[in-house]
Amino acid sequence: MAIENTHEIIDQLPPTVALSILRSLADSDEGLAARIVEMALSHISGVDPEEIAAFLYDELNALEVEEVWDRAGPKRDGYVDPGEAADLMIDEVLEPFLKDLRRYQKLGLKAEANHLCMGLLWGFYQFEHESESEFKDWARDAPANFAWAVVDAWKEGSPDRADVAEVRAFVEDELGGWQARLLT
C-alpha cells in the first residue's frame, strides 16, 4: 500500500499506538533513540514562570460562580458546601499543572520544576490580589491554600537548598513575600 502523505496516517494514529511505534523505533536504533530524547526534552523544557502564572490566572478567572451554585447544595449522598465546590473546581484547574510538576521531578528537570512552582505561586498570588471574579467570593482562602498544595507537591521532589533558595528569592522579589512561610 503506497501512502502519499505520511503525515496523514501519523495524524490518525491513536496516542497509545503512536507511543508504541515510537518506543519500537527507539529500541531499534540508538541514534534515533537519542534524537527522540533530545526532541522530547526540548518540548518539555524552558518553563516560563510568567507564562504559567498568566495561564493559571486566566483559568481561575474564567471559573464561573454559577457552576459553584450548580455543584453546591443537597445531593443524593449529602450536602456540598459552596466553598467545597469552589475548591474542587480550582483543584481541577490545578491538577494538570501538578501532573507536569511530578513529570519534571521524575525526569530530574529541577529547573523546570522550580519554574513551574514559581509560576503557579505567581498565578495564585495574582488571582488573590487582582481578580474581580465573583467566583473568588466563594474561594476566599483558596489561593493561599492551593499555594500550600503547590509547595507540598514541589517539596515531594526533594528540592535541594539551592532550589529552595531560588524559589524563596522569587517569592520575596516578585510576590512581595506573599506566603513566604510556605518555604520554611
Neighbours of 184 (CB within 10 A): 6
SS3 for 80-114, per residue? ECHHHHHHHHHHHHHHHHHHHHHHHHHCCCHHHHH
Residue 41 has a pLDDT of 77
Residue 1 has a pLDDT of 53
Cα–Cα dist 180/158, whole Å: 18
Sorted by sequence, the CB contacts under 8 Å of residue 135 that are 6+ apart come out as: 60, 61, 63, 64, 65, 68, 86, 89
Q: Do the beta carbons of residue 58 and residue 122 sit within 8 Å?
A: no
pLDDT tens-place values along the chain, 184 residues long: 556 678 788 888 898 988 898 999 899 989 988 888 888 877 777 899 999 999 999 999 999 999 999 999 988 888 988 999 999 999 999 999 999 999 999 999 999 999 999 999 999 999 999 999 999 989 888 999 999 999 999 999 999 999 999 999 999 999 998 887 888 7
Provide the grid cell at 90. Answer: 480550582
Provide the grid cell at 179. Answer: 506566603
Using CA of residue 9, residue 11, residue 12, residue 18, what is the dihedral sign?
Answer: positive
Cα–Cα dist 163/183, whole Å: 11
